Each structure stands twice: as structure tokens, then as C-alpha cells.
Structure 1
């Protein structure tokens, strides 16, 4: 199994995949591609947000992402 967009044998050490049943994926070939829902169109999200009353966006101490 390889990660979408990488050629066979390329370094994909970032791709973490665990076989739950040992040997289950033997002789299985394929490519993992992240579902489209993982990717957000920022402009479409902003347009969607404009349908609701304005709320101030805050970043509080201790938040990892801002």
C-alpha cells in the first residue's frame, strides 16, 4: 500500500498505517488517497460563515492553533 501521489518505493515514513489482522494485507496492492472531505475550500467556508450573525473570533491562552 502506498500514499496517494508517491511512486512505489518513495519515502512515506509520514504515512502511518497499522494492519489490524497480521497478514491481512499480504498480496494486496493499492494506493491510499485522503477523502475529499479532508480538504476545505477556505473561500467556500467563509461564504458559508457569512450566512450567520457575526461572532468575534478569539484566540485564548493555551490554544495550540490560532
Structure 2
């Protein structure tokens, strides 16, 4: 994120007061979070097909 942008979605709390004073850091999304849909579909083909069961009272 650019300097000064709102990062209110990223929260942390010091357990020891002052521990993070002067600290800087950068968060980046781990590569494992980025999934190629095509690769995921190919991976899923390794497993037998399972039909989704719909039970009475289930919310859809």
C-alpha cells in the first residue's frame, strides 16, 4: 500500500506497551493464497465425483 493509505483493515495489538515503537513493516499476501482456477480444476479431477446432498431443512 502507498504510504499514508488507510490500513484500518489490518489490525494488531501490542502485548508489551512500546514494543513496536519505531518498527516498520510491509504485509504482502502469501503466494499460496493465489489459486489458478484451471490448475485447481485439474487437481480436483484426481478425485472421484461426489454429488452434493441436499437435506430437508438445509439453507440454500
Query: What interval of TM-score do these two structures reach, taking the shorter chain for normalisation?
Result: 0.5 to 0.7
The answer as to 2:25 corresponding to 1:30 is yes
Report the RMSD for the aligned CA atoms in angstroms.
2.3
Q: Which runs of 5+ in 1 are unaligned?
A: 1-5
TM-score normalized with structure 1 length = 0.64
**Alignment partners' CA distance in 2, 1:22 and 1:54:** 53
Higher relative contact order (CA 8 A, sep 6+): 1
Instruction: Name the larger-Rg structure.
Output: 2
TM-score normalized with structure 2 length = 0.68
Q: Which runs of 5+ in 2 are unaligned?
A: none
Which structure: greater strand fraction? 1
| Count of paired positions | 58
